Every structure is written in structure tokens, then in C-alpha cells.
Amino acid sequence: MEVKVMKNILGENEKIAEENRKLFRDKNIFVVNLMGSPGSGKTTLLEKTLSKLTKKFSVAVIEGDLFTARDAERIERQNVPVVQINTAGGCHLDAAMVRRAAESLNLDEINLLIVENVGNLVCPAEFDVGENIKAVVLSVTEGDDKPLKYPLIFKESAVAILNKVDLLPFTNFNLEQARADLSTIHPQIKIVETSCTQETGLDDWCNFIISQVSS
């Protein structure tokens, strides 16, 4: 019974996601679904790289959050159009939420839309929102076991951002092991290592996005 309900929900979501994808394609907008645990550094990564990305693209951001507008306020300070979605406790964004949020953006003036999903390594990976690519942020403070424990999100993502690498000396995170596990789960995944405080690896992330948009 529960399995059937879940299948129907996912089927309905898939339909709206396809409509979103068509809308974004018609408007020439490349969409990134940015996922990762709470505290992995998704918003900080955006704060540190939006100024680079806006040199190439006209960027807008959709911010998914359980209850607050804190992340949206941080993005607004980067002078980028931002729409907040409050899921009222919902643990992921779905295609209908993204559609409604997109309606309040001027889609004729955007060519890169970044959707910051709700912090969660599980169900955001199951709900297509009509994106071109998924990206997952994993901070080294979360542990190197996460790819094997949550394989779907890494299988679905075109790029894994291993974040907070400046904290590696203070953790037992094994970078080689994480890279090996990621490559086993998803051989084509692009892996970038970033530190938003030391500002390292940020160009790798931006260049990957640039390469994806123009390919």
C-alpha cells in the first residue's frame, strides 16, 4: 500500500518535473539542483561563488528551507534574484514547489538557475524538480562513510563538492577512500574539493558549471 502511494507521488512529480524541464529549456535556462546535508555548506558555497558565476551568466537562486528565510537573505546580499520556498517542515523540494517559485522570477532574464534544496541526503535525490544536473555538497566533517550510506544522491549527482577540506586535519575523513567510494558508486561523477573559508577549489566548481552549461 505505502509503496503504491509513493509510486503515485513520484509519478505525479515526474510529470511536473518534465513540464518544468521543457519550460526551462524553452527559456534557455540551465538548472542546478544543489543538495547536501544541513551544515554541509551549500549556502556558503553559493555566497562565495555567485560573484564568479554572474560574470558568465545571469543567475537566479531558489532557496528551499524548512521554516526560515535566512539563506535567502544571505543570497539577496549577493545582488542575485532569489525566491524563498518554505516547505513548512517538508524535507525536500518537489517539482510543483519549484514551478511556483519560478513563476515569480523573470525567466526571460535568467540563464542559470540554482535551486538550493532542503538540507537532507535522502529524499531530495528522489524528487526531480526539472533540473539539468544535480550537485551534492559533502563536508568532510560529516564523515567519509556518507557516499556508501546514501548512494542514491551520489549516483544521481553530476558533481560532488567535498567541502571544508581546510578542516581535514581535525577529522578522520579519508579523502582517498571517499574518492574511491564515489567513483565506485558513480564512475562519471566529477569530484571537486573546496574550502569556502580558504577560498580554494571554488574555480573548479565554477568551471564545472560553466562546462555543463555550454555543453
Q: Rule CB under 5 A: is residue 91 a binding residue for Zn ion?
A: yes
107 vs 123 by CB, closer to Zn ion: 123
Compute the half-sphere exposure of residue 89: CA atoms within 13 Å on the CB side of its CA.
Answer: 0
Q: Rule CB under 5 A: is residue 195 a binding residue for Mg ion?
A: no
The minimum distance between CB 93 and Zn ion, in angstroms, equals 9
Amino acid making up residue 140: V
Helix intervals (H) in the chain: 2-26, 42-56, 70-76, 95-103, 146-149, 151-156, 175-185, 202-213
42 vs 186 by CB, closer to Mg ion: 42
Q: Rule CB under 5 A: is residue 42 a binding residue for Mg ion?
A: yes
CB 144 within 8 A of CB 174: yes
Query: Which one of 24-32, 41-49, 100-108, 128-136 is the stretch in contact with Mg ion (CB under 5 A)?
Result: 41-49
Cα gap 1→200, rounded to integer Å: 49
Q: Rule CB under 5 A: is residue 92 a binding residue for Mg ion?
A: no
6 vs 180 by CB, closer to Zn ion: 6
Question: Which residues of the shown chain bind Mg ion in the complex (CB under 5 A)?
Answer: 42-43, 71
